[in-house]
Amino acid sequence: MKVTNGKLPGIILCEPQVFKDTRGHFLETYQEQRYSECGIPWSFVQDNMSFSRKDVLRGLHYQTDRFPQGKLIWVLQGRIWDVAVDIRRGSPTFGRYTGLILSSDSYLQIYIPEGFAHGFCVLSESALVMYKVTKPRAAEEERGIRWDDPRLGIAWPIDDPVLSEKDARLPLLSSVTSADLPVYNPDGTVAD
């Protein structure tokens, strides 16, 4: 497996080894020891799958530091543009984002640590996205930031995204209370 650091501290890109032949292909999408050795030492407690149609934009979502989630994300079918935003109070990269294309053709995975907001938009006719999380969903701890927040300046590669009502009403980062933002720790973890 090839592992590289992302453009923001804590973001890790994984390229699993793919074995192909005339029948198709095989790959390991996760193996605890190998991923731990590559800098993803957290255990995952839940797997999620999302199906979305072209131009759907989901995000930007996160859970508070009372119940933060790290995510290992990859695409089973289709193509998306995936975004992670550092929203950890006190982080030297607070408010910065990174975006990259994930597709079922590339097998690339991204690990987004706790303390980051996450979102994606669908570039293909549809996409099936899989992600492992370090904590289960806690509805009372779910928060979000507007996808088009001018402070973030995210260059989404679609013009007219399809949003849920909830995502369309998310606040700007400047409107989020300090208590609802995770706290930066230099060791890369979210503060308790």
pLDDT tens digit sequence for 135-163: 999 999 999 999 999 999 999 999 999 99
**pLDDT-based confidence at residue 189 (cuts at 50, 70, 90):** low
Is the predicted pLDDT of residue 192 greater than 80, yes or no?
no
Rounded Cα distance, 15 and 107, in Å: 6
Residue 179's SS3 state is helix
Among 66, 71, 95, 94, CA closest to 192: 66
Rounded alpha-carbon distances, angstroms, from residue 16 to 83, 126, 131? 20, 23, 15
What pTM does this model have?
A: 0.93
Is the predicted pLDDT of residue 70 greater than 70, yes or no?
yes
Domains, the chain, ranges and CATH?
Answer: 2-180 (2.60.120.10)
| Two tokens, residue 3 | 């592992």
Among 192, 69, 176, 189, CA closest to 131: 69
Residues with a catalytic annotation lie at 61, 131
Residue 22's SS3 state is coil
Among 16, 121, 114, CA closest to 63: 114
| Two tokens, residue 168 | 């369309």
**pLDDT single digits (tens) 76-135:** 999 999 999 999 999 999 999 999 999 999 999 999 999 999 999 999 999 999 999 999
Cis peptide upstream of residue 60 (ω within 30 degrees of 0): yes
Give bridge partners of residue 62 from the DSSP assignment: 143
Give bridge partners of residue 21 from the DSSP assignment: 24
| pLDDT confidence of residue 110 | 98
Residue at token pair 């300090």: 178
| Two tokens, residue 137 | 């969903």
| Two tokens, residue 163 | 């949003």
Residue 61's SS3 state is strand
Average pLDDT over residues 19-48: 91
Residue 184's SS3 state is strand
Helices marked H in 20-174: 32-37, 165-168
Residue at token pair 């289709």: 78
| Two tokens, residue 4 | 């590289």
Is the predicted pLDDT of residue 188 greater than 80, yes or no?
no
